[in-house]
Amino acid sequence: MLTTIQYKSRKLKIDLSQPLDISMPIKGDASNVNAWYIGPPKIEPEVIDGDTISVEKGAVVNFNTINFNPHSHGTHTETVGHITEKVYSINKHLTQFFFLAEVITVAPEKLGDDYVISKKQLQFALGNKKREAVIIRTIPNTSDKLSRQYSNTNPTYLKVEAAEYLKAKGVKHLLIDLPSVDKEQDGGELLAHNAFWNTSGKLRLDATITEFIYVSNKIDDGNYMLNLQIAPFENDASPSKPILYKILN
């Protein structure tokens, strides 16, 4: 279904019948992606007065209770409320959902015992492009990212100057295929989170970070329209479903 949308001063043609989903599903077992030292999510039928509320068990409906943590168990979008004492709800502060986005692919650089994404790499990938959203795919990019167990593995992270560069460039929405933009064990400094949200100055309350995406190798680097969908949780973060659409003109 081809449609033309007015986006700020531009008319953009996209095909709504060709969505490119870059989210990870949440599954109720140990094969689910995981980080931050907790167990897998659980998706189980509720038991009421000894009866299991599942059609398979003779009930007339399926009535599952889901136990998960958005930061640990899949694609999620978070506000500055993730790192502030004051609560900033994602449901209240993400109020627009379509953004001009750039997909870039980065090979993390070795830095001591770590792998990092540097400002120089982002500058090379983005150049003079002005985008509201930047989507970072790291390589190697294999499908085991959908089930990887990240706890105690010291995953790749953003150097603080890379986060500062994105902020200075006016990027409002950062999406990345890692469990965090920061180092797994950093003594609580959270340098990239703090830099991107500008916690030392005026908070960027309308800026978001989306972690644990998965960008298929079938998706080329380049310019897309991003639809950043969230569940309406009054929480610092929500599971999310970012969808890309190719821009055809």
| Nearest alpha carbon to residue 226 among 163, 138, 132, 145 | 132
Give the residue from 157, 152, 154, 123 showing the smallest Cα distance to 138.
157
Residue 234: pLDDT band with limits 50, 70, 90: very high
- Average pLDDT of span 46-61: 97
Average pLDDT on 39-49 reads 97
Residue-averaged pLDDT of the chain: 97
Collect all residues with Cβ–Cβ distance below 8 Å to 13 and sequence separation of at least 6: 2, 3, 4, 247, 248, 249
This prediction's pTM: 0.96
pLDDT recorded at residue 110: 98
Residues constituting the chain: 249
**What distance in Å separates the CA atoms of residue 223 and residue 159, rounded to the nearest whole number?**
24
Question: Quick one: pLDDT at residue 2?
Answer: 85
CATH architecture of 2-24+70-246: 3-Layer(bba) Sandwich (3.50)
pLDDT of 67 strictly over 90: yes
String of DSSP letters for the chain: -EEEEEETTEEEEEETT--EE-PPPP-SSTTS-B-TT----EEEE-EETTEE--GGGT-SS--EEEE--TTTSS-EEE-GGGSSSS---HHHH----EEEEEEEEE-PEEETTEEEE-HHHHHHHHTT---SEEEEEESS--GGGGT-B-TTS---EE-HHHHHHHHHTT--EEEESSS-SS-SSSTT--HHHHHHHTTTSS--TT-EEEES----TTSPSEEEEEEEEE---SSSEEEEEEEEEEB--
Q: Which amino acid is at 80?
A: V
CA-based nearest residue to 229, from 213, 214, 242: 242
pLDDT at 6 over 90: no
pLDDT at 7: 83
Token pair recorded at residue 14: 């996209």
What average pLDDT score do residues 9-14 get?
90
Question: Residue 5 has what pLDDT?
Answer: 83
Averaged pLDDT, 234-248? 97
Q: What digits encode the pLDDT tens for the residues 127-150?
A: 999 999 999 999 999 999 999 999
C-alpha distance from residue 21 to each of 118, 130, 134, 147 (Å): 26, 23, 15, 17
- What pLDDT score does 76 carry? 98
pLDDT value of position 196: 98
Q: Which pLDDT score is estimated for 106?
A: 98
**pLDDT for the residue numbered 29:** 96
How many CB atoms within 10 Å of residue 227? 17
pLDDT digits (tens, 9 = 90+) for 93-120: 999 999 999 999 999 999 999 999 999 9
Place 9 in a pLDDT band, splitting at 50, 70 and 90: confident
pLDDT of residue 171: 98
Residue with tokens 């100057």: 161
Give tens-digit pLDDT for 181-200. 999 999 999 999 999 999 99
Query: How many Å apart are CA 163 and CA 122, to the nearest integer?
Result: 10
Q: Would you state the pLDDT for residue 161?
A: 98
Task: Quick: pLDDT tens for 163-186.
Answer: 999 999 999 999 999 999 999 999
Please give the average per-residue pLDDT across 216-235, as a whole number: 97
